[in-house]
Amino acid sequence: MTKLTGGQIVARALKEYGIEYVAGIPGHGIWSLTDAFLEAESEIPFIQVFHEQSAVHMADGYYRVTGKPMAAVTSIGAGASNTVIGLATAYTDSTSTIVITGGPPTHMRGHGLLQELERFTPNEFPKIAEAVSKRNWVAQRVDELPFIMQRLFSAMLTGRPGPVHLEIPMDVQAESADVEIHELAKRLPIGTAHPDPSAIAEAANLLGDAVRPVIVLGGGAITSEASPEILALAEKWSVPVVTTWNGKGAFPEDHTLFAGAVGQTGTPVGNAIASSADVVIAVGCRFTDWSASSYAKGVSFSIPDSKLIHIDLDPQEIGKNYPAEVGIAADAKITVGQIADALPEKAPDRTEYLHELEQKKEEWGEQLSQRRDSSRFPFTSQRPLGALRTVLPRDAIIVAGSGNTQGAVKQTFPVYEPRTHLTAGGFSSMGWAVPAAIGAKLGAPDRPVVCVLGDGDFLMTAQEIGLCVTNNIPVVFVVQDNSGFMSIRGGQRKQTGRHIGTEFNRPDGTPYSPDFKALGEAFGLRSYRVESDDQLETTLKEAFESNEPTLIEVPTDRDAAGPWVPGWWDFPIPEHFDEGQAEYREIRAKEQHL
């Protein structure tokens, strides 16, 4: 037993349980905890950010690259409230991060002290955090903190990953007790959930008879490290593979069996193959409206009549959006391996199916090249991505912002390894990419990390580029400047034929952009503005060779189209707009989720 303060207990547990970095902003509500990071037994590098949202996004990016959690720490009230979008993004995409916030002292609760939310019930922040975390604690006593810390790690490291939140009242951080940090290994199960043998037999049977099977990979395929087993299954049984946003990277995109992305901004090939399959094997994929084209039959999927083998660690995902012929609530890596083993040795002849796939890919390649290889200036959304792919090694990490770049990266920038493509897919939070890329580089210091994002997304957390200088983290930021939220303007025009609040303009109506190169310089980054098409590759090369924090502004045509939209997305059109109404109603009538 050792006499430790609450702050010391939490800091020691974080260190003993393997946390390598803590990010955050100290305030009076968390001083007793942050102070403990100065002591040898609980010393953890502290990365001081400029906005608490970024601390959580940074931990999220770090997790997506390493599979290991990192912690974010904030003060009480205002600082804590700034973490909500970070938690929500991590929760939606199932990434494990720890958020620790200070809270009002237990003897002060409800008195409306500085930064306390209390007008409905005393100390209300934990209620807000509840909705955006996998599990959530408010410590009541200092001597329960060792228990809380092992429960917190248990929640993050078992089952479906997700962010956890702990609030520690200021008095609980400061008081001490005789305690021991619990041994984590004795609080965690060995291994993971294996599939039911009868489910494997059924899946192998169904797949055994399939004529046009397809594998759909979601983020869970990456989380469970299932890529080698997926590759073996696809090759053994000649099954084409499509990926969702978060599944991108789970399968090498230069493989003959790779069909493309699926969904609204998937590819025509991915959607054609997935929607015409007779058997769909979904791995760690929850079938979001985005990946499933709002469930309109025949666009991205046709389930039914396609028969679904659905593998997910979370049983609640089985049957949520599509009925499953075989639902398997188990670890994806083990399950896919067992299904492959259960199939006969001799693969069926799929010459015709694979020939069709190859032809469709050729056509798509030609279509893609029109925007990717275009020399128009200002650039298309795709041209810088084509250039980046030629400059970067296979294992480089790309972090995509919201807006046009997110879909354009999915379609235009092939990746070959898991954890090399990061996107805040499910919550699509603007402001996520900059700090997530910094977290990614912390997790993979020896590999190039590029963050490609729009001007709008960048301006939500642009200040964090300063962290690359204060902590010597050489991320390259490629900012696509098109003076506005152009993806949203595109959507507005499609919906109602007009637009509002999406162009950045001066009072006289001319486009407005801050000087991003100057902004990069102001923060101490190596900075460029690409002034012509022929400067693009050389600038990118120079940036990566310098191995310094770098910002590259790429002027992007406001009217250059974003990604192609081969799928569909259900956004209701106001009834007084006739145009598009009939088409909207017609496709909506094909939705299969109800």
Ligand X SMILES: Cc1ncc(C[n+]2csc(CCOP(=O)(O)OP(=O)(O)O)c2C)c(N)n1
Determine the angle formed by the axes of helices 536-546 and 383-391, rounding to 10 degrees. Answer: 50
If contact means CB under 5 to 8 A according to the sort of partner, which of ligand X, Mg ion, none does residue 430 touch? ligand X
The letter for the amino acid at 343 is L
Segment near ligand X (CB under 6 A); pick from 126-134, 231-239, 383-391, 401-409: 401-409
DSSP conformation letters of 202-253: HHHHHHHT-SSEEEEE-HHHHHTT-HHHHHHHHHHHT--EEE-TTTTTSS-T
Residue 42 has a CB neighbour count (10 Å cut-off) of 22
Q: How far is the CB of 482 from ligand X (least distance, A)?
A: 5
- Write the DSSP symbol of residue 37: T
φ, ψ for residue 562 (rounded to 5)? -80, -140
Instruction: Report the residue number, 430 or 486, with the smaller CB distance to Mg ion.
Output: 486
Q: Which is nearer to ligand X, 26 or 163 (CB)?
A: 163
Tell me whether residue 169 or residue 456 sits nearer to ligand X (CB atom).
456
Interaction of residue 435 with ligand X, rule CB under 6 A:
no
For ligand X, the closer of residues 93 and 312 by Cβ is: 93
Q: Is the peptide bond before 315 cis (omega within 30 degrees of 0)?
A: no
Residue 490: CB minimum distance to ligand X, A: 8
CA angle 99, 66, 187 (to 5 degrees): 60
Residue 42 touches which member of Mg ion, ligand X, none, C-beta under 5-8 Å by kind: none
In the list ligand X, Mg ion, none, the entry touching 401 (Cβ below 5 to 8 angstroms by class) is: ligand X
CA gap 391, 540 in Å, rounded: 7
Task: Rule CB under 6 A: choose which of 223, 265, 293, 404 binds ligand X.
Answer: 404
Residue number of the CB closest to Mg ion reads 454
CA distance 128 to 138: 13
Q: Cα-flanking dihedrals φ and ψ of residue 534, to 5°?
A: -75, -5
Q: How far is the CB of 464 from Mg ion (least distance, A)?
A: 18
Stretch that binds ligand X, among 8-16, 174-182, 282-290, 426-434 (CB under 6 A): 426-434
| One-letter-per-residue 3-state SS of 137-160 | EECCCHHHHHHHHHHHHHHHHCCC
Identity of the residue, 11 or 422, whose beta carbon is nearer to ligand X in the bound complex: 422
Does 454 bind Mg ion (CB under 5 A)? Our answer is yes
Here's the x/- map for ligand X, 126-155, by CB under 6 A: it reads as: ------------------------------
Q: How many residues bind ligand X (CB under 6 A)?
A: 21
For the bound state, the minimum distance from the C-beta of residue 562 to ligand X, rounded and expressed in Å, comes to 6
> Given the complex with ligand X, which of 142 and 486 has the nearer CB atom?
486
Choice from 317, 457, 464, 553 touching ligand X (CB under 6 A) = 457
- Residue 455, interface with ligand X (CB under 6 A)? yes
Contact 450, 398 (CB under 8 A): yes
Instruction: Indicate whether 136 belongs to the interface with Mg ion (CB under 5 A).
Output: no
Q: Does 464 bind Mg ion (CB under 5 A)?
A: no
Instruction: Determine if 456 is a binding residue for Mg ion (CB under 5 A).
Output: yes
Question: Rounded CA gap, 88 and 73, in Å?
Answer: 16
Backbone angles phi, psi at 322, to 5 degrees: -135, 145
Q: Which residues ranging from 476 to 505 are in contact with Mg ion (CB under 5 A)?
A: 482, 486
Residues 470-529 that bind ligand X (CB under 6 A): 480, 482, 484-488
Which residues does 155 contact at the CB level (< 8 Å), separation at least 6? 134, 135, 162, 164
For residue 423, give the H/E element and its range.
Answer: strand 421-423
- Binding residue for ligand X (CB under 6 A) from 249, 270, 284, 403? 403
Least distance CB 486 / ligand X (angstroms): 4
One of 116, 455, 464, 553 touching Mg ion (CB under 5 A): 455
Tell me if 456 contacts ligand X by CB under 6 A.
yes
Q: Give the Cα separation of 445 and 473 in Å (integer).
A: 8
CA angle at residue 408 from 256 to 259, to 5 degrees?
20
Distance of closest approach, residue 489 Cβ to ligand X, in angstroms:
8
Burial class (CB in 10 A: 0-12, 13-18, 19+), 521: middle
Q: Does 454 bind ligand X (CB under 6 A)?
A: yes
**404 interface partner picked from Mg ion, ligand X, none, CB below 5 to 8 A per type:** ligand X
Which of left, alpha, beta for 116 (phi over 0: left; psi -120 to 50: alpha)? Answer: beta
The window from 61-69, 120-128, 425-433, 505-513 that contacts ligand X (CB under 6 A) reads: 425-433
Choice between 29 and 386, CB closer to ligand X: 386
Report the alpha-carbon distance of residue 507 to residue 485 in Å, rounded. Answer: 17
Give yes or no for residue 166 binding ligand X (CB under 6 A): no
Q: Which is nearer to Mg ion, 75 or 480 (CB)?
A: 480
Nearer to ligand X, 206 or 434 (CB): 434
Nearer to ligand X, 61 or 240 (CB): 61
Report d(CA 441, CA 449) in Å as an integer: 6
- Residue choice 76, 285, 430, 434 for contact with ligand X (CB under 6 A): 430
Cα 295 from Cα 570, distance rounded (Å): 9
Q: What are phi and psi of 76, to 5 degrees?
A: -85, 155
422 binds, among ligand X, Mg ion, none (CB under 5 to 8 A by kind): none
Q: Contact at 8 Å (CB) between 60 and 92? A: no
Check: CB of residue 98 under 8 Å from CB of residue 140. no
Q: Which stretch binds Mg ion (CB under 5 A): 14-22, 106-114, 449-457, 530-538?
A: 449-457
Q: Cβ of residue 541: shortest distance to ligand X, in angstroms?
A: 24
Binding site residues, ligand X, CB under 6 A: 401-405, 428-431, 453-457, 480, 482, 484-488
Chain contacts with Mg ion (rule: CB under 5 A) = 454-456, 482, 486
